Amino acid sequence: MTNVHKDALFVLVKSLSKSEKRQFKLYVGRLGVNADAKFLALFNLLDKTKQYDEKVILDSGIVKKSQLSNLKAHLYKQILVSLRLNPVNQNIRIQLREQLDFATILYQKGLYKQSLKILDKSKIIAIDHEEKNIAYEIVELEKIIETQYITRSIPDRADELAVQAKELSEQNVMTSKLSNLSLQLYGLMLKVGYVRSDDDLKMVQNYFSEKLPKYNIDELGFREKLWLYKAKLWYSFLIQDFLSCYKYANKWVDLFYENEKMIQLNPVFFLKGNHYLLESLFYVKYSSQFRQTLQRLEQIVEGKNFPKNDNIASLAFLYINANRLNLHFLEGTFSKGLYLVKIIEYGIAKHRDRLDAHHIMVLYYKIASLYFGNGDNKNCILYLKRIIDNKNLKMREDLMCFARVLSLVAHYEAGMDYHMELQLKSTYKFLLKMNDLHAVQKEIIKFLRNLGGIYPNDLRNEFQKLYNELKKYENHPYEKRAFLYLDILSWLESHLENKPVAQIIREKAMQHTR
């Protein structure tokens, strides 16, 4: 029975680089008895096959069906052990865990002094690198050992360990509360999206104020501050306060630049912080600062000291290229951004196993917007079709809504209006079903629906009416989000002034450059 790319062991084997495969075989072959081991034979078979097929494995004679599950589990574990030993995967966190394991083994052998020596050294490193959960575990083991390895200094030592345990516990509790709040706000964002009314706003404000723990900013360490800024960032996104988004994303990124060793230890958080900073700058149209921030991020990611692994490579591809597109949108340089399409298509194929469908669809929407801004409506429609035809896209309903609306506009621009009425009905029905019908969307659909009955001589007046109507919502607290997905005002201005939409956006960018 075939199970393409869904078997966990097969996916793990296929994720290995050439050097990781070589190291695994060296690791397995360190003892002669493993040379003909069944799990190595299974590894070699999976490495050669293009898709997982249990029948092929059984027909090879490596293993009986009743033993296959155990053999796969054993191979999976051996690969993980090999990867753990790889210097590429070593970091402070893994090294501290290893030292804690060593200290535990020494303690169990009754070698208390040696165990305490390792623990004391590891604790200093853990606290210095803000690994306070591991530091707390170290202190707890020190307390256990001190009760059995009695010295004259035990009274002072007991007080010292008790104070350390209390401080670390309080810091870890604060981190836990702030990380919980950040996660809950992110979940709220995915579930209900941005606030759409005064009632929504009041609900989110109350939720945030009730859940936010009391804190003194001067007493917070790196990790607590990081989760605090993340929580405040998500809150700002929810209430559509994009200046505050910029403020807290900036604090998040500055926190890393003030503690540069944390970039090495937390590269994913560093990348995400920069992505949200760039997103905030895009929303508030700070194009010059956007360019500087993106260039600085690219330089750091490409530097030899920045951590390298598959997950980081996928995230760096996603965030950097999404924001390269955003920069062209900000500056109206759509034609200059077309080179990114091939790069992104190649990157999606390369990183597909590590990118979720939502992020891939966001890239498709941005590519469609790039083509739309460049006047290539047919390619715009093709990329939007990939989103609209995706039946598995449960989250990001807002993206699906605006993909449909932009598709309608692109069909009109391309002169492909022979199915317009059918598409209008389908889109309107979809928006009602999703309960995401904004005033901006209503006005656009109403305009497109009435196009058939408008004489060519009256078309400019109708564009002007729609522009005047939509302009009211440009800074509306709950309607302005629509303009982030679709710069409909620039499109209307292009018709009113008889200029390409890219030129309109470039002229606006010149006015907003800061």
- The pLDDT tens digits of the residues spanning 370-417 come to 999 898 999 999 999 999 888 776 655 677 878 888 888 888 888 776
Per-residue pLDDT at 188 = 82
| CA dist., res. 6 & res. 351, Å (int) | 16
User: Which tokens is 293 given?
Assistant: 């921030």
* Among 23-32, 244-253, 301-310, 453-462, the least confident range: 453-462
Per-residue pLDDT at 259 = 92
User: Which tokens is 69 given?
Assistant: 């599950």
pLDDT of residue 441 exceeding 80: no
| pTM listed for this prediction | 0.83
Q: What is the CA radius of gyration of the chain?
A: 28
Residue (of 149, 148, 125) closest to 138 by Cα position: 125
In this prediction, what percent of the chain has a pLDDT beyond 70? Answer: 90
| CA dist., res. 167 & res. 65, Å (int) | 54
Residue in the block written with tokens 């597909």? 352
| CA dist., res. 111 & res. 108, Å (int) | 7
| CA dist., res. 97 & res. 101, Å (int) | 6
Checking 391-395 for CB contacts under 8 A at 24+ apart, the result is: 392/357, 393/357, 393/358, 393/361, 395/190, 395/358
User: Which tokens is 20 given?
Assistant: 């990781």
Per-residue pLDDT at 7 = 86
Quick one: pLDDT band at residue 30, thresholds 50, 70, 90?
A: confident
Per-residue pLDDT at 399 = 77
| CA dist., res. 363 & res. 325, Å (int) | 9
pLDDT of residue 9 exceeding 60: yes
Burial class (CB in 10 A: 0-12, 13-18, 19+), 402: buried
Q: Are 158 and 146 in contact (CB under 8 A)?
A: yes
Quick one: pLDDT band at residue 31, thresholds 50, 70, 90?
A: low
Quick one: pLDDT band at residue 33, thresholds 50, 70, 90?
A: low
Q: Which helix (DSSP H) or strand (DSSP E) does residue 262 occupy?
A: helix 261-265
Q: Give, as one character, the DSSP assignment of residue 2.
A: B
* Other C-beta atoms lying within 10 Å of the C-beta of residue 75: 23
Q: Which helix (DSSP H) or strand (DSSP E) does residue 490 occupy?
A: helix 488-497
> What integer best gives the mean pLDDT of the chain?
86
Mean pLDDT of 447-467: 76
Quick one: pLDDT band at residue 2, thresholds 50, 70, 90?
A: very low
Per-residue pLDDT at 456 = 66
| CA dist., res. 483 & res. 329, Å (int) | 13
| CA dist., res. 120 & res. 466, Å (int) | 70
Q: List, for residues 84-104, the tens digit of each pLDDT value.
A: 887 766 788 888 999 999 999
| CA dist., res. 254 & res. 249, Å (int) | 9
* Other C-beta atoms lying within 10 Å of the C-beta of residue 257: 12
Strand partners for 53: 2
Mean pLDDT of 218-235: 94
Q: List, for residues 155-170, the tens digit of each pLDDT value.
A: 677 788 888 899 999 9
| CA dist., res. 492 & res. 460, Å (int) | 10
Quick one: pLDDT band at residue 151, thresholds 50, 70, 90?
A: low
